[in-house]
Chains A and B, each alone.
Chain A
Amino acid sequence: MGDFSAEVVSHIDRNYVMDLLKKGERIDGRALDQYRPIEVQVDVVPAKADGSCIVKLGNTSVIAGIKVLVGEPYPDTPDEGVTMISAEMAPIASPMFEAGPPKEDAIELARVVDRGVRESETVDAKALCIEAGKKVYMVFVDIYPLEHDGNLIDASSIASNVAMMTTTFPEMKIEDKELVPSGRLMKIPIKNLAVECTIAKIGTSLVIDPILKEEFVQDCRLTMAIDQNDNLTAMQKGGGIGPISMKQIEGAIDMAIERSKDIRKITEDAVKSVK
């Protein structure tokens, strides 16, 4: 696909995208509040990872893998396990990504997905404790985009949720001050699943699940994490410097709450498919 000369293309594309949006249409023919087709493959790293999945969101795809290790808790939360989400924008996924240490966008991706999980208390951290102050489970969720055609955040959020919900790992116990496996398998205790929906603001229009070309021309985007009771548990405005009005935020929230139900169902169906 070669280089994107983002600057040059986006002026031409912006007019094209805007003209269509004025008629209520999108460049790929979707409705404004319609996600691309979502496909989830579970347990794609069966021999080495404790949980894993690939999520395809149209032409965007990401892989998430989980390792559960045992470590020491943080001093301020001695009886809580740790969940850490990180993302790397590996150059395999896009001509725009470069090799090297994570840049701002990779860090934002990981932090936005991480907040969606953390703030909703998706994982019951207290249930990940083996012995308070000494040993807790540490859940590492690592996300690698494989193909970048926009909206890596939602794809990564679905991937990390499905991977966490399908993870099994050996249960450990402390016997005579030694850490030994109990012989049983454990699942990550899920308390309050939140799904993330991203909406791009382009001119006066709001579109959900923007593709890359829409991201190039968006004024900004709004990512919302929505839990099972339709509460907002995390939000991030990013993807550009454009301001957004209160009225548009309201519109975005309504759209996100509505569509989050579909994403939740897709997530739960994917989890059920392996049970």
Chain B
Amino acid sequence: MSPETRPDFLINPEGLRLDGRRPDELRKIELECGVLKTADGSASIRQGKTYILAAVYGPRELHPRHLALNDRAYLRCVYRMATFSVPDRKRAAPSRREREISMVMGNALEPALFLEEFPKAVVDVFIQVIQADGGTRCASITAASLALADAGIPMRSLVPAVAVGKADGKLVLDLGDEEDKYGQGDIPIAIIPRTEELTLLQQDGSFTREEFLEAIQMGITGCKYIHELQKDALKRAYAKRAPEASEEEEEEDVGTEYEDDLETDLGESEYDDEEEDE
């Protein structure tokens, strides 16, 4: 019972958005790895008021068996929203929207994974939206990709995702809830950062050809920043989990050791990027 009304403007005369952001500014994003102990891999994301948990189970035996693939593992994504995550109470049964998002999420994540290493198995990705405030499909992909890395699923790259939209005729990065509802368009994208190839692309609303291409560029820039946050969250999680380091120096040593593991998981180019960053 939180009544919502359309705001007078989405971009104020000073050129700032409802929550005070510039058009090309992301919301505050907090990523954390390994938040659920029962899962093989897990991650949480807080993006503005959006709060999502992702869990990965597998590779494990697939039920029902007829879904099994002979040449690779089956990637099963399930996106669900809690009934209390939205302004009105959502019905408990999965909606068509939830099913569609589950599918496009799988398509966005799969190109980054070496699923051919686990024929006939399943890798399960479960997403639970705890609080939805716009951009949940992109935030889900960002978190799911991190959870897959946490589960040790071999991957070419992490997959960051973000939405670009149009509010009051201006392109804006990382739509908030009101901008999504009352804006003129929405383009969620996910990319493989190294090649800048898109693995998720949807659009609704109205964009000119130029606007559309500019929007994608804006999204890619946003994704690359989110990618840095993802790598950072992974490193933090594994430095933290490193076995007893009594002195600080030791801790750093162990940290490096774990980064080596990261290299095999993420591909060498990733590691090189990090070297340059530091």
Interface residues of A (CB under 8 A from B): 1-3, 44-50, 52, 59, 63, 65-70, 86, 88, 90-95, 98-99, 101, 140, 142, 144, 146-149, 169-170, 181
Contact = CB atoms under 8 A, between A and B. Distances in A.
Q: Which of A59, A91, A101, A140 has the most CB of B within 10 A?
A: A91
A170 B84 contact: no
A59 B39 CA distance: 12
Q: Which 9 A-B pairs have the closest CB atoms?
A: A65-B84, A49-B84, A67-B89, A92-B126, A92-B55, A47-B49, A142-B83, A147-B38, A45-B131
B57 A95 contact: yes
A142 B84 contact: yes
Contact of A65 (B78, B85, B93, B124): B85
B95 to A, nearest CB: 14
B4 to A, nearest CB: 11
A1 B40 contact: yes
Interface in B40-63: 40, 49, 51, 53, 55, 57, 60-61, 63
B124 A91 contact: yes
B119 interface: no
Given A2-B60, A68-B1, A146-B36, A45 B85 contact: yes
Nearest to A67: B89
Contact of B126 (A59, A91, A140): A91
B1 A92 contact: no
A67 B92 contact: no
Interface in B77-133: 78, 80, 82-89, 92-93, 124, 126-128, 130-133
B89 A144 contact: no
Interface string B68-84: 00000000001010111
A90 B37 CA distance: 15
B83 A140 contact: yes
Interface size class of B (residues with CB under 8 A): 35 or more
A270 B88 CA distance: 26
A146 B78 CA distance: 15
A47 B60 contact: no
A50 B87 CA distance: 10
Given A44-B130, A47-B49, A63-B130, A144 B36 contact: no
A170 B80 contact: no
Contacts of A52: 84
Nearest to B93: A101
B117 to A, nearest CB: 16
B2 interface: yes
B1 A170 contact: yes
Nearest to A58: B37
A67 B60 contact: no
A67 B133 CA distance: 16
Contacts of A46: 131
A99 B80 CA distance: 10
Interface string B1-18: 111000000000000000
Contact of A99 (B2, B53, B78, B83): B78
Interface string B197-219: 00000000000000000000000
A86 B82 CA distance: 12
A42 to B, nearest CB: 14
B1 A142 contact: no
Q: Which of B80, B84, B88 has the most CB of A within 10 A?
A: B84
A93 B86 contact: no
Contacts of A44: 51, 130
Contact of B84 (A2, A67, A98, A99): A67
25 contacts: A2-B40, A44-B51, A47-B131, A47-B133, A48-B132, A49-B84, A49-B85, A50-B84, A68-B1, A90-B126, A91-B124, A91-B126, A92-B39, A92-B53, A92-B55, A92-B127, A92-B128, A93-B38, A95-B38, A98-B63, A140-B83, A142-B82, A146-B128, A147-B36, A181-B3
Contacts of A50: 1, 84
Contacts of B85: 45, 48-49, 65
A1 B1 CA distance: 39
Contact of A63 (B1, B80, B82): B82
B39 A45 contact: no
A46 B49 CA distance: 9
A155 B150 CA distance: 27
Given A45-B131, A69-B1, A144-B82, A94 B89 contact: no
Contacts of A67: 1, 83-84, 88-89
Contacts of A65: 82-85, 130
Nearest to B63: A98
